[in-house]
Structure 1
């Protein structure tokens, strides 16, 4: 009888140990699964944050481009209005515009001298006017970045526009009465003046061709 009890006790002990081992195994597996779930959740949240940041950047870029287009349209429309008021146009419409930006046609600091690249671009522009738009009216707009005093930038924009005006007449042969000069100085930026790239875009001369 004692032997039977001992055997039963051993069996019970074995079953108990087996149950403990099973629970430990299950707990370990559950812990691993929970850890993986937490990792997936963390990765998903990071992915969502990255997507949100990319969407925000795209929205900011789109807004900047829309503002650039709006600024260009505004200056072109104002040129058209001035030309109509002065009786310079036969049809009263804008044909196109050419932007001579500092990013490609270098102006020195506080300088209005035309580079070889700018002169070549103006020669090409004048050739197109003579061939296709002899009766066109051209407004030459000077723009600067925001460094320096506003009054100085107004004069600098005018000097640069005048340099283009004089070159188109003396070297390219366009008549003076078909051209006009205006300076916007720093008031019509195309990009932020907080970066060098933005300032390069803002230092420009715009040729608005009207008919």
Structure 2
């Protein structure tokens, strides 16, 4: 009988399997990293887009207080009958102006007792025409004294009116801001007593929501 020459089956070297495992692991890690980068990019893009949209919304709803023209044309408001209240403005905003002598004693920042009746007329007009509008309270002075003192006095008077509007007038505190013009934007000459008196005032500016 012929002898069969049977050779044992050769097995692949162990290191070859190890090399294949390492290559497979490297491929999996590369694919996983690529997926994470895509998600991160999408998340960053979405976040940037949201921030941009929020910024645009805020810019669209915040009035440009620096654009207010306190020499705007006078307008008629049937709810404001007190001659001590001047009403002016345009199609963007309305200005209610009260003289210093109506609201305050000379060089003082506390509201006088009879100021409430006049402020109530303004609030009635605001509630009727500009419910929920952004309200800016501006304090102005004449040029007597230092610019620093006038700036501070204008802010104090504007703040006093703001507090009344919120506590007594029922205006939403989130809708009211104060601005001190001091002596910087006179509506009349400071060379005469009459002009200086006109420059000492507080203006309530209503920007209707668009």
| TM-score, scaled to structure 1 | 0.54
Please give the residue correspondences for 1:76-91 in structure 2 after superposition, counting only pairs within 5 Å.
Answer: 85=59, 87-88=61-62
Give the corresponding residue for 1:11: none
Higher relative contact order (CA 8 A, sep 6+): 1
Change in CA separation of 1:124 and 1:106 when aligned onto 2, cut-off 3 Å: closer
* Pairs aligned (count): 124
User: Normalized per residue, which structure has more helix?
Assistant: 1
Give the corresponding residue for 1:157: 154
SS in 2 for 1:173: coil
Question: Which residue of the other structure, out of 81, 92, 95, is the alignment partner of 2:93?
Answer: 95
The Cα offsets for residues 101-150 of structure 1, whole Å up to 9 and x where unpaired, read as 235x1522220121234221111111222233212111111000111110
In structure 2, the gaps of 5 or more residues are 1-57, 64-90
Question: Which residue of the other structure, out of 94, 105, 109, is the alignment partner of 1:112?
Answer: 109
| TM-score, scaled to structure 2 | 0.55
Does structure 2 conserve the Cα–Cα contact (< 8 Å) formed by 1:100 and 1:118? no
Question: In 1, distance between residues paired with 2:60 and 2:178?
Answer: 13
SS in 2 for 1:182: strand
Change in CA separation of 1:160 and 1:178 when aligned onto 2, cut-off 3 Å: same
Give the corresponding residue for 1:167: 164
Give the corresponding residue for 2:177: 180
Please give the residue correspondences for 1:66-77 in structure 2 after superposition, counting only pairs within 5 Å.
Answer: none
Does structure 2 conserve the Cα–Cα contact (< 8 Å) formed by 1:94 and 1:208? no
In structure 1, the gaps of 5 or more residues are 1-83
SS in 2 for 1:94: coil
Query: Are 1:131 and 2:128 matched, yes or no?
Result: yes
